[in-house]
């Protein structure tokens, strides 16, 4: 797989006042509740991180490359200027709504992570009561993590001194309820969740995260699926009659197939634990893509009451990150070809960040037959 970064594509980012009005009108719990993320362990002790990004309105995401020592700023309490810092590490990933913040990405050390929706359970600190220099807006957390730290352990230590504050995102009109999944090149994983004004940090042995409820609830819920296995169920004999499984996959019979966060969490955990692992590199990326495809949500699969006229939530894009080789991949709803960004191919000491719109190439290429 040869990574490519499509700078030549025409930027079609258009700020739509109508779209922003829709965002503000849609209540937070219904804006994006179907994101799925996981870390697939590799045979060389690292991992491949992947996630889907679902949303009802168009996020108009771009791919970003943030160089080392680039100055980033947070939004403070009441929308005023917050803390600022110069990044220690370069990072690549995806933004949303034209902001210079990452909602998903990876840095030059192989630390990766994503922002996922956490409706009804996210509870932020009061920004008027926190230290400005230790306060982050909900959408600034991931950029702060990826530009400052190399490992999960470093993040666990530093995040304990920080607060994620209740501040309105200007374009959305409310404070988006978020939680965060973080992984590093050693295969370590954590989940960070703001609850009741404090940050709860969980080690994540299964590497999976979806949406609400809280991560500890999802881990307890896995105890309802202790019999999931890639091995087919044995024959059953009743009163001298033998009953055999109908086809393949009977060891996973009963694994939930709906798109609720608890069901997606269980299903992702099942895939991660059962597939045949590969070493880091192209084969592992392709394996990860096959798993990720199972969580793709087409337009219309999830609907609310029709009279509310809420935009259909769907998988706008999906990403994969090879943490050992520092290669990041993305594919869009209208372009399912996986495109790559190799962070090592950039001048990481550049003065300006780089941005690339991910315009779709809708027409599939023709199959070329030998003459």
Give the whole-angstrom CA distance, residue 278 versus residue 283.
Answer: 7
Q: Which residue among the candidates 23, 31, 35, 191 is catalytic per the annotation?
A: 35
Residue pair 110/198 in contact by the 8 Å Cβ criterion: no
Q: In a 3-state reduction of DSSP, which class is residue 195?
A: strand
Query: Alpha helix (H) ranges present in 126-234?
Result: 141-148, 152-159, 215-221
> Alpha-carbon torsion 114, 120, 123, 128, what sign?
positive
For residue 35, indicate whether it is catalytic.
Answer: yes
How many whole angstroms separate alpha carbon 369 and alpha carbon 8?
Answer: 29
Single out the residue of 317, 316, 314, 318 nearest to residue 298, CA to CA.
Answer: 314
Angle at the Cα of 212 from the Cα atoms of 210 and 218, rounded to 5 degrees: 70
Output the six-digit token pair for 111: 């630390």
Distance CA(40)–CA(214), nearest Å, equals 21
174 strand-pairing partners = 169
By annotation, the residues acting in catalysis are 35
């Amino acid at each position: 797989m040869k990574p490519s970064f499509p700078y030549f594509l025409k930027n079609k980012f258009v700020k739509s006042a109508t779209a922003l009005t829709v965002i503000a009108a849609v209540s937070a719990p219904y804006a994006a509740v179907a994101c799925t993320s996981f870390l697939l362990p590799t045979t060389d002790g690292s991992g491949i991180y992947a996630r889907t990004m679902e949303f009802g309105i168009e996020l108009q995401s771009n791919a970003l490359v943030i160089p080392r020592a680039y100055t980033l700023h947070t939004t403070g309490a009441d929308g005023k200027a917050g803390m600022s810092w110069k990044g220690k590490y370069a990072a690549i990933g995806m933004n949303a709504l034209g902001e210079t913040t990452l909602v998903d990405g990876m840095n030059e050390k192989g630390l990766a992570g994503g922002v996922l929706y956490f409706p009804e359970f996210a509870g932020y600190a009061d920004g008027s009561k926190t230290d400005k220099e230790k306060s982050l807006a909900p959408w600034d957390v991931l950029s702060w993590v990826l530009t400052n730290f190399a490992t999960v352990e470093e993040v666990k230590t530093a995040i304990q001194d920080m607060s994620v504050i209740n501040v309105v995102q200007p374009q959305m009109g409310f404070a988006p309820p978020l939680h965060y999944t973080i992984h590093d090149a050693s295969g370590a994983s954590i989940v960070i969740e703001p609850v009741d004004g404090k940050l709860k940090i969980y080690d994540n042995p299964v590497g999976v995260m979806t949406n609400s409820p809280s991560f500890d609830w999802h881990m307890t819920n896995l105890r309802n699926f202790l019999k999931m296995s890639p091995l087919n169920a044995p024959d059953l004999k009743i009163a001298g009659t033998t009953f055999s499984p109908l086809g393949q996959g009977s060891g996973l019979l009963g694994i939930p197939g709906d798109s609720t966060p608890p069901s997606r969490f269980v299903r992702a955990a099942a895939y991660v634990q059962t597939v045949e692992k590969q070493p880091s590199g192209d084969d592992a990326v392709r394996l990860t893509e096959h798993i990720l495809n199972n969580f793709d949500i087409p337009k219309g699969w999830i609907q609310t009451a029709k009279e509310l006229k809420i935009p259909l939530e769907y998988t706008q894009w999906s990403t994969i990150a090879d943490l050992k080789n520092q290669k990041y991949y993305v594919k869009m709803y209208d372009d399912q070809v996986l495109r790559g960004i190799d962070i090592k191919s950039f001048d990481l000491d550049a003065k300006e960040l780089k941005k690339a719109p991910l315009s779709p190439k809708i027409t599939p290429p023709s199959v070329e037959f030998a003459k």
